[in-house]
Amino acid sequence: MDKEKEDIDESSRTHAAMSFFHRLKTAFALALDSLRVHKLRTALTLLGVIIGVASVVLVGVAIEGLGNYSEMTTSRVFGTDSFLVAQMVQFGNLSRTERAARMRYNKPIRQADFEYLRQALGDRVFYSAYTTRTEDVKRENARFEGATILGASASLPEIRDVTLTEGRFFTELEEQNKRPVAVIGDELRATLFPGISPVGGKIKLRGVEFSVVGVQEKLGSSGSRTQQDNPVYIPISIYWKLFGGSRTGVAVFGKAKASSRMSLEESLDLTRVALRSRFHARPGKPDNFEALTPDTIRAFAQSILAMVSAVVIPVTAISLVVGGIVIMNIMLVSVTERTREIGIRKAIGARRGDILLQFLIEAILMACCGGTAGLLIGWAVTETASRVAEVPLAITWPYAALAIFVSSLVGVVSGWYPASQASKLDPVDALRAE
């Protein structure tokens, strides 16, 4: 008896499952037929969801791209384990009064201070002075306006990324002897030495003739002129001789030598102690100079990107809500247009759940199709922008998953009310509808 009862229960469950599957299959087919019959209306309805999903995905790509660009720029400027000290290096929302107070309190790092650091800690830490100005550079009858003149030490390539495509960087001996040698950027090479190698060539800066010993790799985007590609690196000694920079402050890059086995923090602490002693900073008082590390820049960049995300993502997601409202309106119109069809289905045995499932699936299908199309459009735009701008961009899957999830949720929410209204129609009243 118990065995027969179990068999009956099992048969009932199987029948119920098959019945539900059949109802689901029927509702899915009816929903597809409805979308196929009204192609233009479906396409216009999908447009709101497509735009919303594509917007969320592209905003995610842009934010992630900015983060990657910030990381690349930080690595290029600082390397991975170097630091910078100067009179003022901190950034952020400083008022004019705060900035002026810092400038009064902090000491500029002059030529003698830089030499002191090299003599005191040069056996354990690489140091490079670093200062810039803008000047015109000439070669015969050609002129390059607004080149960025960078005074630096020969040790700069040991500290930060200075990749050369031709030639070499200047040497410590050339720096000590104030030799007029230079490493130029790609824009200067293209403008002053079109079609020929600039290594061994001559350029003029402030009437002084410099020998070109190297060319830095191209850093800017294709076809654009950026300050990254117009530098002229010259020894800091000749820079001070030309521009009198020994009386003004410079920035100093530093990096622990491999032989010292020191970390970034340890080498920075040694530098801070040396400069505090040099500048007679009182015990318990803050440093009368400022330091900057890659982690500081990364933290600042991440905080900015987090604020941008917190504002932009919700605003962009509003377009998905608008897409949901469009779906709801179209579904309500569809219910009104198909009132007689609903009455006929109910008259021949369709239950309330069948009608609810049909219209709900129709709304979810529109939302999911729009979400998929928006994701594909976002991917295509990302790939195109990455190739054109020569910037590494990629879809961030958390944003993509968020967009698809929200679009599906929009489909459920926006489809539920019209589907519920359709399922509640009285079959007699529905059959009377014109």
Segments in 338-351 forming alpha helices (H):
339-347
Give me the helix-helix angle, 339-347 and 352-389, nearest 10°.
Answer: 130
Q: What SS3 class is residue 254?
A: strand
Q: 357 or 188, which is more confident?
A: 188
pLDDT at 408 over 70: yes
d(CA 61, CA 402): 13
Asked if residues 414 and 325 have their Cβ atoms less than 8 Å apart, the reply is yes
Give me the helix-helix angle, 294-337 and 397-423, nearest 10°.
Answer: 20
Q: Which residues pair with 125 in a beta bridge?
A: 256
pLDDT band per the 50, 70, 90 thresholds, residue 9: low
CB neighbour list of residue 200: distance below 8 Å, 6 or more residues apart? 211, 212
> For 107-111, 125-129, 163-167, 358-362, which range has the lowest pLDDT when averaged over its residues?
358-362
d(CA 207, CA 313): 54
> For 50-54, 130-134, 322-326, which range has the lowest pLDDT when averaged over its residues?
322-326
Tell me the pTM.
0.66
Q: What per-residue confidence (pLDDT) applies to 365?
A: 80
d(CA 107, CA 157): 27
* pLDDT tens per residue across span 293-344: 888 777 777 777 778 777 777 777 777 777 777 777 777 777 777 777 777 7
Residue 368 buriedness (CB in 10 A; 0-12 / 13-18 / 19+):
middle
Calculate what percentage of the chain has a pLDDT beyond 70: 83
Q: What SS3 class is residue 84?
A: strand
Strand pairing category for 142-152 and 231-235: parallel
d(CA 418, CA 29): 19
* pLDDT tens per residue across span 177-203: 999 999 999 999 999 999 899 999 999
Q: What per-residue confidence (pLDDT) applies to 226?
A: 47
* Helix, strand, coil percent content, the chain, rounded in steps of 5: 60, 15, 25
Asked if residues 54 and 256 have their Cβ atoms less than 8 Å apart, the reply is no
pLDDT at 151 over 90: yes
Mean pLDDT, residues 228-255: 85
Q: What per-residue confidence (pLDDT) applies to 254?
A: 93
* pLDDT tens per residue across span 53-91: 888 788 878 777 777 777 676 666 666 788 999 988 865
Q: What per-residue confidence (pLDDT) applies to 224?
A: 40
Q: 222 or 213, which is more confident?
A: 213
